[in-house]
Amino acid sequence: MNKVIDRKSRHELALMQEAGQIVADTLTYLSKIVEPGMSTLDLDKIAEERIRKAGAVPTFKGYYGFPATLCTSVNDEVVHGIPSPHKILKAGDVISIDCGATYKGLVGDSALTIGVGEISDELKKLLQATEESLNAGIRMMVAGNFLEDISGAVEDVGNKYGYGIVRNYGGHGVGRKLHEEPFLHNYRTGNQGPELKPGVALAIEPMFNLGTEDVKTLEDNWTVVTQDGLPSAHFEHTVIVTEDGPLVATERTG
Ligand code: MG
Ligand code: MG
């Protein structure tokens, strides 16, 4: 069954871009100041202050009881890590920072994974490949394509490098709420899904693991980690289909 994806109005899309730019600014700033010795809660406090100062609200805080502004997932943590004063970053770590902001009721959602200090070539390659797959997915956000085209583009990059493509989590519709229909797999399912039309907004968010694709959730009921303890990377953008091609609402310019 191919459901139609809800399309946003021009006004809603403009607000989503404002929300997206607040998220982009926050992630750009955090990526500049991350250094060994900081805790993940330090990053969270800085992010919350920056988002509120911009007149927006941290979307994740209170979402199904999530306690923080950011999801901070270090090394083998894939997604949904909870910021903590006890989680101290070390040189050589990789941290995925996922951030959402709601501005005048509309949501921007974006994530990136960055190295703390100097990281290994193996990890640099994992980060580059995951971002490459996000960009491949974004290029499919063209009117007339189908949802599965995005999934396939992401999957092809993961397979090219031989990484574990996380299957239990994926992208989603976004805008009036953080998570809207449809769910966006990071691999082909054999169902082409709904057609992409102008006004469709999706969060595309590949997660690639250095080892196995298998993940599990820790006892905090949030933090998702790799089964084999090997590192993971996660990149995400909020992307809008327009008459002129893909528009990345959360594009970072800094
Ligand atoms: Mg996100
Ligand atoms: Mg998302």
**Hey, CA dihedral for 12, 203, 79, 116, is it positive or negative?**
negative
| Ligand lying nearest the CA atom of residue 113 | 1
**Hey, CA dihedral for 184, 185, 186, 190, is it positive or negative?**
negative
Q: Is the pLDDT of residue 3 over 90?
A: no
Alpha carbon of 178 to ligand 1 centroid (Å)? 8
In a domain, 233, yes or no: yes
In a domain, 145, yes or no: yes
Distance between CA atoms of 28 and 24, rounded to whole angstroms? Answer: 6
User: Within its chain, how far is the Cα of 84 from the centroid?
Assistant: 20
Q: Is the pLDDT of residue 201 over 90?
A: yes
In degrees and rounded to multiples of 5, residue 160 shows phi and psi of -55, -40
Per-residue pLDDT averaged across 218-226, rounded?
A: 97
- What pLDDT was estimated at residue 225? 98
Surrounding ion ligand 2 within 5 Å at CB are: 109, 203
In a domain, 4, yes or no: no
Q: Is the pLDDT of residue 180 over 60?
A: yes
| Ligand lying nearest the CA atom of residue 80 | 1
Alpha carbon of 19 to ligand 2 centroid (Å)? 14
| Cβ-based neighbour number of residue 160 at 10 Å | 12
In a domain, 254, yes or no: no
Alpha carbon of 144 to ligand 2 centroid (Å)? 23
pLDDT digits (tens, 9 = 90+) for 11-66: 999 999 999 999 999 999 999 999 999 999 999 999 999 999 999 999 999 999 99
Domain that holds residue 203: 10-248
Three-class SS state of 125? helix
Alpha carbon of 100 to ligand 1 centroid (Å)? 6
| Ligand lying nearest the CA atom of residue 98 | 1
Alpha carbon of 230 to ligand 1 centroid (Å)? 21
Distance between CA atoms of 81 and 71, rounded to whole angstroms? Answer: 5
Alpha carbon of 202 to ligand 1 centroid (Å)? 11
Name the β-bridge partners of 113.
96
Alpha carbon of 220 to ligand 2 centroid (Å)? 20
| Ligand lying nearest the CA atom of residue 171 | 2
SS3 of 174-207: CCCCCCEEEEECCCCCCCCCCECCCCCEEEECCE
Place of tokens 């399309």: 7
Let me know: does 87 contact 36? Beta carbons within 8 Å. Answer: no
Q: Is the pLDDT of residue 1 over 60?
A: no
In a domain, 106, yes or no: yes
- What pLDDT was estimated at residue 4? 83
Provide the number of structural domains found in the chain: 1
CATH number of the structural domain spanning residue 42:
3.90.230.10
Looking at every residue in the chain, the average pLDDT score rounds to 97
Rg (CA), the chain: 17
| Ligand lying nearest the CA atom of residue 234 | 1
Alpha carbon of 109 to ligand 1 centroid (Å)? 5
In eight-state DSSP terms, residue 116 is: S
pLDDT digits (tens, 9 = 90+) for 130-159: 999 999 999 999 999 999 999 999 999 999
Q: Residue 168 — very low, low, confident or very high, per pLDDT cuts 50/70/90?
A: very high
| Ligand lying nearest the CA atom of residue 71 | 1
Three-class SS state of 63? helix
Per-residue pLDDT averaged across 117-122, rounded?
A: 98
What b-and-e string marks burial along 13-39, b requiring 16 or more CB atoms within 10 Å of the CB?
Answer: bebbbbbbbbbbbbbebbbeebeeebb
Alpha carbon of 185 to ligand 1 centroid (Å)? 14
pLDDT above 70 covers a percentage of the chain that reads: 99
Alpha carbon of 205 to ligand 2 centroid (Å)? 6
Strand order in the sheet with 224-226: 77-79, 224-226, 215-217
